[in-house]
Amino acid sequence: MQSKTDLSQYDNSWYQPGAGILKRALWFFVNACFFVSYNPFNGLKITLLRLFGARIGFGVVIKPAVNIKYPWKLSVGNYVWIGEKVWIDNLEEVMIGNNVCISQGAMLLCGNHNYKKSAFDLMTAKITLEDGSWIGARAIVCGGVICASHSVLTVNSVAVSDLVAYSINTGNPSQKVKDRIIS
């Protein structure tokens, strides 16, 4: 028989979302209406992200049904493609360089829980996608990971540690399988 775990010890009071309750509530509704929905108006989405504090470059494409937790913790370079149903769960800073592709259904997850604690305390860490990196469809990048310049994370793979520059990585957890050669 399993014993019950006392979650009253759970303490995430240290975590700072970076905005007050009103701004977060307003963003929740804006995100639901204009991002998670199938809104096709890219320029409107970019304008709304900037109004909420995101730093967005030129030539950025944000496809429909994208979910972004906190735009004030998001930095996107130039000529970035964010595919349908991407989830950017940025409890911490997410920095996306230039010429990055985040394919359909991919997830950037800055938060996790400490399974070694009975209360599963919250753990957060930033994510960096350097210039030219490509996150494949339905792939997952976990908190604390740096996807170095021109690295590739293939379809359905999970990055739990840094990807080296010009590498192709696959699996769960992902491993380098070969070099990326760009002609």
Range of the domain at 147: 18-177
Amino acid at residue number 169? N
Residue 167, SS3 per DSSP: strand
Q: What is the pLDDT of residue 10?
A: 65
Entry pTM: 0.93
Q: What is the pLDDT of residue 12?
A: 76
| Residue 7 within any structural domain of the chain | no
| Residue 23 within any structural domain of the chain | yes
Sheet of 107-109, strands arranged across: 67-68, 87-89, 107-109, 140-142, 158-159
Nearest to 166 by CA among 148, 154, 145: 148
How do residues 33-61 score in pLDDT, each as one tens digit? 999 998 999 999 999 999 999 999 999 99
Give the integer Cα–Cα distance in Å for 157 and 80: 20
Q: What is the pLDDT averaged over residues 90-98? A: 98
| Residue 5 within any structural domain of the chain | no
Q: Is the model's pLDDT at 15 over the cut of 80?
A: yes
What's the number of domains the chain is made of? 1
Give the integer Cα–Cα distance in Å for 108 and 117: 24
Burial (Cβ within 10 Å: 0-12, 13-18, ≥19) of residue 2: exposed
Q: How confident is the model at residue 2 (pLDDT cuts 50, 70, 90)?
A: very low
Q: Is the model's pLDDT at 87 over the cut of 70?
A: yes
Q: What is the pLDDT averaged over residues 161-171? A: 98
Nearest to 75 by CA among 128, 149, 17: 128
Amino acid at residue number 147? C
Instruction: Return the CATH number at 60.
Output: 2.160.10.10
Average pLDDT for the chain: 94
| Residue 182 within any structural domain of the chain | no
How do residues 107-138 score in pLDDT, each as one tens digit? 999 999 989 988 888 999 999 999 999 999 99
| Residue 89 within any structural domain of the chain | yes
Give the integer Cα–Cα distance in Å for 72 and 49: 8
Q: What is the pLDDT of residue 83?
A: 98
Count how many residues are written for the chain: 183
Q: What is the pLDDT of residue 64?
A: 96
Tokens of 37: 């929905």
Least confident of 26-30, 116-120, 137-141: 116-120
Please report, in angstroms and rounded to a whole number, the separation of the first and last CA atoms in the chain. 60
> What letter does residue 4 receive in the DSSP assignment?
P
CA distances from 100 to 34, 42, 124, 168 (A): 22, 17, 23, 15
Share of the chain above pLDDT 70, in %: 94
